């Protein structure tokens, strides 16, 4: 019997203008579901777009499409949480972890400068981990690369959560799902991320070797400046890498007794 096909369901919402015309990014989301689950996925993404702490959207798009490529099933990254007392402490720790992953300090400094120059992104910035050069600029109007076609089935996520007990919310699920897909690729040296939602200040540094390292206090409460940077090994084929991020379907699955 042929396996049932998966569908990629995507949402993006913006304020004052559509994304392509420079509107403020409010929210985005991606899911990978079976046909019978499309309605539920659309509902969930619609709810996410309408109730966002970055504001109410003036524009939104929700679309789905069948996925023809075979779905790759991978394990979630191992999670560690570091509790810090201030943004300074959190940021210092994030930089130390990035260096441990193999990103030199001057490149981290360049990345922070780039991030400040590009405040209004809806995707991730790709940076050459050897030169600090931005690699994604000519793609997607410079708004960053949006990783798509990934998900973690709720039942398995909940099981993982009961056993590993971090925090049962969709944000964590989405972030680990994305970080696991991204770090799977050999071109990824490390990822640095914190939310652009003003009410969420925990972020992370991730890579395949050290896992998903959550850090509390990566920005001040109320700040709408988010960050998502992939430090990349540019000796790999970048066009293929971006294609992997955008189109390769990946499901996260945690096996019991895995950890």
Tokens 């430090």 belong to which residue? 231
Query: Which phi and psi angles does 71 have, rounded to 5°?
Result: -85, 130
Yes or no: say if 244 and 149 are a contact pair by the CB < 8 Å rule.
no
Structure tokens at 258: 């895995």
- CB of 187 vs Mg ion, minimal distance in Å: 25
Task: Choose between 89 and 197: whose C-beta lies nearer to ligand WAQ.
Answer: 197
At closest approach, how far in Å is the CB of 177 from Mg ion?
A: 15
Q: 128 vs 146, which CB is nearer to Mg ion?
A: 146
The verdict on 233 binding Mg ion (CB under 5 A) reads: no
- Shortest CB 142 distance to ligand WAQ, Å: 12
From the list ligand WAQ, Mg ion, none, pick the one residue 9 interacts with, judged by a Cβ distance below 5 to 8 Å according to partner type. Answer: none
User: Is residue 30 involved in binding Mg ion (CB under 5 A)?
Assistant: no
> Where on the chain is the footprint of ligand WAQ (CB under 6 A)?
28, 30, 121-124, 144-147, 171-172, 175, 178, 193, 195-197, 200, 202-204, 214, 226, 228
User: Binding of Mg ion at residue 197 (CB under 5 A)?
Assistant: yes
3-state secondary structure 171-234: HHHHHHHHHHHHHHCCCEEEEEEECCCCCCCCEEEEECCCEEEEECCCCCCCCCCCEEEEEECC
Give contact residues for Mg ion (rule: CB under 5 A): 196-197
């Amino acid at each position: 019997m042929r396996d049932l096909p998966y569908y990629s369901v995507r949402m993006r919402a913006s304020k004052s203008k559509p994304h392509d015309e420079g509107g403020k990014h409010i929210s985005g989301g991606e899911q990978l579901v079976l046909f019978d689950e499309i309605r539920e996925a659309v509902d969930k993404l619609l709810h996410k777009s309408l109730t966002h702490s970055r504001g109410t959207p003036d524009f939104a798009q929700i679309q789905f499409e069948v996925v023809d490529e075979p779905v790759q099933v991978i394990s979630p990254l191992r999670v560690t949480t570091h509790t810090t007392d201030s943004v300074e402490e959190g940021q210092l720790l994030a930089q130390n972890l990035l260096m441990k992953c193999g990103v030199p300090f001057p490149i981290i400094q360049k990345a922070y400068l780039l991030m400040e120059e590009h405040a209004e992104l809806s995707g991730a910035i790709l940076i050459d981990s050897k030169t600090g050069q931005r690699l994604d600029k000519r793609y997607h109007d410079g708004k960053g690369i949006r990783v798509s076609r990934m998900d973690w089935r709720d039942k398995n996520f909940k099981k993982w959560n009961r056993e590993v007990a971090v925090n049962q919310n969709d944000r964590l699920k989405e972030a680990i799902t994305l970080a696991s897909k991204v770090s799977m690729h050999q071109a990824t040296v490390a990822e640095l991320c914190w939310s652009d939602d003003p009410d969420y200040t925990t972020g992370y540094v991730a890579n395949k070797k050290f896992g998903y390292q959550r850090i509390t206090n990566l920005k001040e409460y109320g700040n709408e400046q988010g960050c998502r940077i992939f430090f990349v090994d540019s000796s790999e084929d970048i066009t293929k890498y971006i294609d992997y991020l955008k189109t390769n379907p990946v499901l996260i699955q945690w096996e019991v007794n895995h950890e």
